[in-house]
Amino acid sequence: MHPLRLTVNGKPHDLEIDPRVSLLDLLRENLSMTGSKKGCDHGQCGACTVIVNGRRINSCLSLAVTHEGDDVTTIEGTADGEALSPLQAAFVKHDAFQCGYCTPGQICSATALLDELKRGEPSVVTKEKVELVDEEIRERMSGNLCRCGAYNNIVDAILEVAEART
Amino acid sequence: MRPFSYSRVADDKAAVAAAGAQNAKFLGGGTNLVDLMKHEIERPETLVDVSRLPHEEIEQTESGLRIGAAVTNSALAADAVVREKYPLLSTALLSGATQQLRNRATTGGNFLQRTRCQYFYDTQRACNKREPGSGCDAIGGLNRFHAILGASENCIAVHPSDMAVAMVALGADAETVLPQGGVRTIPADALHRLPGDTPHIDHQLAQGELITHVVLHKAPQYQMYRKVRDRSSYAFAVVSIGIAFDLLEGHFMKIRIAFGGVAHKPWRAARAEEVLEGKAPSRALFEEAADAELAEAKGQGDNDFKIPLMRRLIVASLTEMTSAQEKAA
């Protein structure tokens, strides 16, 4: 067992864990925060996406023990009490999900994406400067699968919030 | 996942010392290694976490850049100097994986990722890379994604990295620390090996040898990375190409070409380079270079299409790069 201290959604935790535990399993099983979802458990679907120190990652592919001192944000930490985050509200408005299983990962991913856009970070489809177009959002969200196929509405929801921010 | 002991080290010396343990592995971002450990394809008894070693800087040198091995793929791709001077590298990085993976994957680790051959992943099937001596079910199996160059009767797997192809095309060097002390520099195109009769060994690094930096030299004037894949995002290359050169009075100088998706390693197209070096661009020359490089290419059945596809990719990429130059002139 290894000692681990990290912060999840602003709350510090002091734990003892098996080094085999993934960050996803730590969140779901040890901390009972089941918002982050286990889809493929192999980094292919994005349902487990969380934000660590401001960057989105697949929590299923990350050993929890490597996150000593890190600051983790999950879907449970994106709303302000009962007030939805702008992205959450946009997902509701645009009907950007059906079953909802991929949605926590989609929203964590998109939350970090907005910061990447703000920092002017490129994607492979970026020419000189980032433009807020469908293609740019689709490329940047390609790590989040939606088996219901709500992609058109997901892109609309993210674009609306991104445009409001610029 | 099998049990293992975990340690986080503070410096290179401690890292290589810890990695001397039985069946030890370095852990960087873990995006490939942790996945393989879940499948119990990788079964390290000791994991040495090197992700927090002080190798997270990208330093400017007199002629290029020195990149810390712990720099993430996303940070490297977004770096202003990399985007401006080494667009080949930035494009290659951004065309691989997803932002979530690139945020964890490291420069050193990307080189050392393992093949995505489905027979390597499927523990019910024969694979000489996974279990030496067990055979290769990819030969005669579903081998659409497999090698056309440098394969052996023991293994037809391909190296999956986009970044490594760019590093070979840019003539980068990897700096390592050796377990017995001392350092060495390995050219990117000498880091990986062909399968031969030991396909379980991917690269030239010794047990416990740690990549600490990657050095880029003077930026070539013309650079391109092109990737052909089955879907437009988040897919490994069917084939890819990295090309870098200077032009001196309309003639190719210091041209370097590397292919992805065709071999057990990022494939340095030395024969094509030899045809092109010092010559003036023309379509006939590009075709001659492609034919020289692919003379010994061999399909496995499902992947026969890669040979004409690679040939067209070489000719089309060189044509695009040099016609832009004609327009500018």
Which residues does chain B have within 8 Å of residue A61's beta carbon, measured at their own beta carbons? Answer: 30-31, 34-35, 101, 104
Q: Provide the domain count of chain B.
A: 2
Q: Compute how many other C-beta atoms are within 10 angstroms of the C-beta atom of residue B248.
A: 11
Please name the residue of chain B whose CA is at the shortest distance from the CA of residue A21.
B1
* Count of domains forming chain A: 2
- Predicted local distance difference test score (pLDDT) of residue A37: 98
d(CA A18, CA B32): 20
According to the model, what pLDDT value does residue B112 have?
98
Convert chain B into a string of H (helix), E (strand) and C (coil). CCCCEEEECCCHHHHHHHCCCCCEEEECCCCCHHHHHHCCCCCCCEEEECCCCCCCCEEECCCCEEEECCCEHHHHHHCHHHHHHCHHHHHHHHCCCCHHHHCCCEHHHHHCCCCCCHHHHCCCCCECCCCCCCCECCCCCCCCCCCCCCCECCECCCCCCCHHHHHHHCCCEEEEECCCCCEEEEEHHHHECCCCCCCCCCECCCCCCEEEEEEECCCCCEEEEEEECCCCCCCCCCEEEEEEEEEECCEEEEEEEEEECCCCCCEECHHHHHHHCCCCCCHHHHHHHHHHHHCCCCCCCCCCCHHHHHHHHHHHHHHHHHHHHHHHC
Out of B3, B49, B51, closest to residue A20 by CB = B3
Instruction: Return d(Cα A50, Cα A23) in angstroms, integer.
Output: 9
pLDDT surpassing 90 at residue B329: no
- In this structure, the answer to whether residues A67 and A95 fall within a common structural domain is no
Which residue in the set A43, A46, A142 is minimally distant from B35, CB to CB? A43
Neighbours of A54 (CB within 10 A): 12
Domain CATH for A117? 1.10.150.120
> What residues in chain B have their Cβ under 8 A from chain A's Cβ atoms?
1, 3-6, 8, 27, 30-31, 34-35, 38, 47, 49, 51, 74, 77-78, 83, 90-91, 94-95, 97-101, 103-104, 232-234
Give domain status of residue B285, yes or no: yes
What does the pLDDT look like over A107-140, one tens digit per residue?
A: 999 999 999 999 999 999 999 899 999 999 999 9
- Domain closes at, from B51, B66, B88: B51
Whether residue A72 is found in the same domain as residue A120: no
Q: How far is CA B93 from the centre of its chain?
A: 10
Are B145 and B306 in contact by the 8 Å Cβ rule? The answer is no
Phi, psi of B271, rounded to the nearest 5 degrees: -70, -40
User: Rounded to whole angstroms, how far apart are CA atoms B251 and B275?
Assistant: 12
**Residue A166 — pLDDT band, cuts 50, 70, 90?**
confident
- Please indicate, yes or no, if residue B279 is contained in any of the structural domains: yes
The last residue of one of the domains, among A43, A59, A77, is: A77
- Which tokens go with B131? 């279990």
Instruction: Assess if residue B24 is contained within a domain.
Output: yes
B310 in a structural domain: yes
Look at B94 and A20 and tell me if their CB atoms are within 8 Å: no
Pick the residue of A5, A20, A151 with the most B CBs within 10 A to test the interface with B by mutation. Answer: A20
Q: Is residue B323 part of a domain?
A: yes
- For residues B169 and B242, the answer to whether their CB atoms sit within 8 Å is yes
Q: Under an 8 A CB cutoff, do A46 and B77 touch? A: no
Contacts with A65 from chain B: Cβ below 8 Å: 6, 49
Does B305 score more than 60 pLDDT?
A: yes
Angle at which helices A86-93 and A103-118 pack, to 10 degrees?
A: 120
What residues form DSSP beta bridges with A8? A11, A72
> CB neighbours (10 Å) of residue A8?
21
Last residue in a domain, options A49, A77, A105:
A77
Res B25: pLDDT? 97
Q: Of A35, A56, A77, at which residue does a domain stop?
A: A77
Read off the pLDDT band of A102 (50, 70, 90): very high
A93 and A150 both lie in a single domain: yes
- For an interface test with B, give the residue of A4, A40, A58, A127 to mutate (most B CBs within 10 A): A58
Query: Do the chains contact at A143 and B99, CB–CB below 8 Å?
Result: yes
The tokens for B73 are 């793929």
3-state DSSP assignment of residue A7: strand
User: Taking 70 as the threshold, does the pLDDT of residue B328 lie above it?
Assistant: no
pLDDT at B279: 98
Query: Each residue of B128-149: pLDDT tens digit?
Result: 999 999 999 999 999 999 999 9
Mean pLDDT of all residues belonging to chain A? 97
Query: Tens digits of per-residue pLDDT, A46-83?
Result: 999 999 999 999 999 999 999 999 999 999 999 999 99
pLDDT of residue A128: 87
Q: How far apart are CA A59 and CA B292, in angstroms?
A: 46
Name the β-bridge partners of B211: B176
Backbone angles phi, psi at B239, to 5 degrees: -145, 155
- Do A140 and A49 form a contact (C-beta atoms < 8 A)? no
- B321: pLDDT strictly greater than 90: yes
Is B272 among the domain residues? yes
Residue A101 CA to residue A45 CA, distance in Å, equals 11
Give strand pairing partners of B214. Answer: B67, B174
Residues A37 and A98 in one domain: no
Q: What is the pLDDT of residues B237-284, one digit of tens each?
A: 999 999 999 999 999 999 999 999 999 999 999 999 999 999 999 999
Query: Which domain does B315 fall in, by range?
Result: 222-328
User: Is A72 in a helix, a strand, or coil?
Assistant: strand
- A135 three-state secondary structure: helix
Q: Are B224 and B170 in contact (CB under 8 A)?
A: no
* Mean pLDDT, rounded, of chain B: 97
Q: Band of the pLDDT at A97, cuts 50, 70, 90?
A: very high
* Tokens describing residue B256: 């370097």
- Residues B159-171: what's their mean pLDDT? 98
pLDDT at B53 over 90: yes
- ∠ Cα A100 A157 A126 (to 5°): 115
Q: Are residues A32 and A91 in the same domain?
A: no
Q: How confident is the model at residue B325, as a pLDDT? A: 61
Residue B165 has pLDDT above 70, yes or no: yes
Kindly report the CATH number assigned to the domain that includes residue B19: 3.30.43.10
Could you give the angle at the alpha carbon of B71 between the alpha carbons of B66 and B74, nearest 5°? 115
CB B246 within 8 A of CB B221: yes
> Among B135, B143, B145, which residue's Cα sits nearest to residue B200?
B135
ipTM exceeding 0.90?
Answer: yes
CA distance B110 to chain A (A): 15
Q: Which of B290, B281, B278 is nearest to B319 (CA)?
A: B281
Q: Residue A22: helix, strand or coil by DSSP?
A: strand
CATH of the domain at A70: 3.10.20.30
pLDDT tens profile A8-25? 999 999 999 999 999 999
Residue A165 pLDDT grade (very low, low, confident, very high; cuts 50, 70, 90): confident
Domain containing A56: what range? 2-77
Report the first-to-last Cα separation within chain A, whole angstroms. Answer: 47
Same domain, A68 and A110: no
